[in-house]
């Protein structure tokens, strides 16, 4: 059978001649949708079993179909399957090969089904599978962060606002902030799975079918909670793909923020951490350089993931119901975003697990910039009963005096402080040391080591059950 004749048969005799080379190039999706082969075969087997169970096709035909499809699966996994752009997509490639293997019985497989609901179920299955992979990767990253947080629950470092030293915190507390972020990403993945857990198979082209199919049976066989309830919606929407991309973009943004901090912390000017050679590269001209390339690539790849979300939103925004060939553009963005996110999660987990923390450098930096100024103001309110605004003013004068003397707040003498407010007592020095400042922040979710350890214990239990 010639490729030209095959192409004509695909379109049911509607066209008198095969497509031009340009049309073939723009129309074919096999170069990327071959990634759906396992889901396509899985969906076809479930569909054929349902057709046999409802008496629409014979058990003998179904047995041949299942055997042929399993043979094709083995061929693809062995790398011996020949994909053809003439056959457009994964569905027609599989169907054509099935006809070669089992003859006329193959033609019965497409009864009560369209490529519209076929591709919808294939992609939904693929995205659902990927969501489970992302969930496991996120759990691994959270566990790595919990380990570092536990090691450094009391390691003091500067906390920043506007990239200026603000108040001392602990590195464990900083790690736990990312535990919270990535746990929300994990919950978004799971929420997305819940919403996409409906099967479009059986919606056919757009209106359903007159054959007595059992959509609940195919939904159950494919691991879906239930079938989708509207045939038009079943084949026409890709909000499950958009939700995956949105989740991926938010997660990538969190990864990028952590990557940016790793880049900053690893500079000689900060020296808070050191990445191993496994996640760094050297310079071709400057032998002293050790570049945090893994972190930079995580930061850079975030733009790629975000772009895929915007791209698919733009494809879908003008789509009237139901299916249009525009929707062929959904797959490459989803596939690439998934592959990119998987790599970003793995690299970030590796960097978090592998980095060496310089606690001494962190502690030294925590005392710079008069980071305990807020502690001084709080002490004035709590001990002397000053209104906070007045305490703020007194503290500002103390900071100005420390800057004039080129010392930290805790290095000011009692006489210096009493010259600003005579009521200040020697007890003030108990709050001006960064270690004491950190220990005092015992409010729920605060940076006190005791509170950080409580949060770590709680999160370990939650992740163990996740």
**Distances from the Cα of 27 to the Cα of 17, 116, 235, angstroms:** 15, 15, 19
Q: Does 266 qualify as catalytic in the annotation?
A: no
Which residue among the candidates 31, 276, 283, 450 is catalytic per the annotation?
283
Query: Alpha-carbon distance 373 to 409, whole Å?
Result: 8
SS (H, E, C) 194-217: HHHCEECCCCCCCCCCCCCCCHHH
What would the two tokens of residue 309 be?
Answer: 């979300």
Which residue among the candidates 2, 17, 162, 210 is catalytic per the annotation?
162
Query: Alpha-carbon distance 94 to 91, whole Å?
Result: 5
Asked if 109 and 47 touch (Cβ cutoff 8 Å), the reply is yes
Query: Alpha-carbon distance 417 to 194, whole Å?
Result: 60
Query: Alpha-carbon distance 135 to 244, whole Å?
Result: 12
Asked if 108 and 60 touch (Cβ cutoff 8 Å), the reply is no
10 Å Cβ neighbour count for 436?
Answer: 15
What would the two tokens of residue 254 be?
Answer: 């969190």
Q: How far is CA 129 from the centre of its chain?
A: 14
**Distances from the Cα of 68 to the Cα of 45, 71, 246, angstroms:** 10, 5, 38
State how beta strands 198-199 and 226-227 pair.
Answer: parallel
Task: For residue 423, give the DSSP letter.
Answer: T
Q: Does 162 qualify as catalytic in the annotation?
A: yes
Annotated catalytic residues are 162, 283
């Amino acid at each position: 059978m010639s490729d030209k004749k095959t192409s004509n048969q695909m379109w049911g005799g509607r066209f008198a001649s095969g497509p031009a080379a340009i049309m073939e190039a723009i129309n074919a999706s096999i170069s990327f949708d071959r990634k759906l082969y396992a889901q396509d075969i899985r969906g076809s087997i479930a569909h054929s079993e349902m057709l046999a169970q409802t008496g629409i096709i014979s058990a003998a035909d179904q047995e041949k179909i299942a055997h042929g499809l399993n043979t094709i699966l083995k061929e693809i996994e062995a790398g011996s399957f020949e994909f053809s752009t003439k056959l457009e997509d994964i569905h027609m490639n599989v169907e054509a090969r099935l006809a070669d293997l089992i003859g006329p019985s193959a033609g019965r497989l497409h009864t009560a089904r369209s490529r519209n609901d076929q591709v919808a179920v294939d992609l939904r299955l693929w995205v659902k599978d990927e969501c489970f992979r992302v969930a496991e990767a996120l759990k691994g990253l959270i566990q790595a962060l919990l380990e570092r947080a536990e090691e450094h629950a009391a390691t003091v470092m500067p906390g920043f606002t506007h990239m200026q030293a603000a108040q001392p915190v602990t590195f464990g507390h900083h790690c736990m902030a990312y535990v919270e972020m990535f746990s929300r990403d994990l919950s978004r993945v799971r929420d997305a799975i819940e919403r996409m857990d409906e099967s479009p198979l059986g919606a056919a082209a757009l209106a359903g079918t007159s054959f007595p199919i059992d959509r609940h049976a195919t939904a159950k066989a494919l691991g879906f909670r239930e079938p989708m309830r509207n045939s038009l919606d079943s084949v026409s929407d890709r909000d499950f793909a958009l939700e995956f991309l949105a989740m991926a973009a938010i997660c990538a943004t969190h990864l990028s923020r952590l990557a940016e901090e790793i880049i900053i912390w690893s500079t000689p000017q900060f020296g808070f951490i050191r990445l191993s050679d496994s996640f760094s590269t050297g310079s071709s001209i400057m032998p002293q350089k050790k570049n945090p390339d893994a972190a930079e690539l995580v930061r850079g790849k975030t733009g790629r993931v975000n772009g895929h979300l915007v791209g698919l939103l733009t494809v879908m925004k003008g789509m009237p119901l139901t299916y249009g060939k525009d929707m062929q553009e959904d797959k490459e963005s989803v596939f690439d975003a998934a592959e990119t996110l998987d790599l970003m999660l793995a690299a970030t987990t590796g960097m978090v697990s592998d980095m060496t923390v310089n606690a001494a450098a962190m502690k030294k930096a925590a005392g710079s910039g008069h980071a305990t100024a807020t502690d001084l103001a709080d002490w004035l309110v709590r001990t002397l009963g000053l209104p906070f605004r007045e305490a703020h003013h007194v503290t500002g004068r103390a900071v100005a005096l420390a800057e004039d003397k080129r010392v930290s707040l805790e290095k000011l003498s009692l006489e210096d402080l009493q010259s600003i407010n005579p009521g200040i007592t020697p007890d003030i020095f108990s709050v001006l040391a960064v270690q004491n400042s950190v220990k005092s922040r015992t409010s729920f979710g605060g940076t006190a080591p005791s509170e950080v350890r409580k949060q770590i214990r709680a999160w370990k239990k939650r992740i163990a059950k996740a």
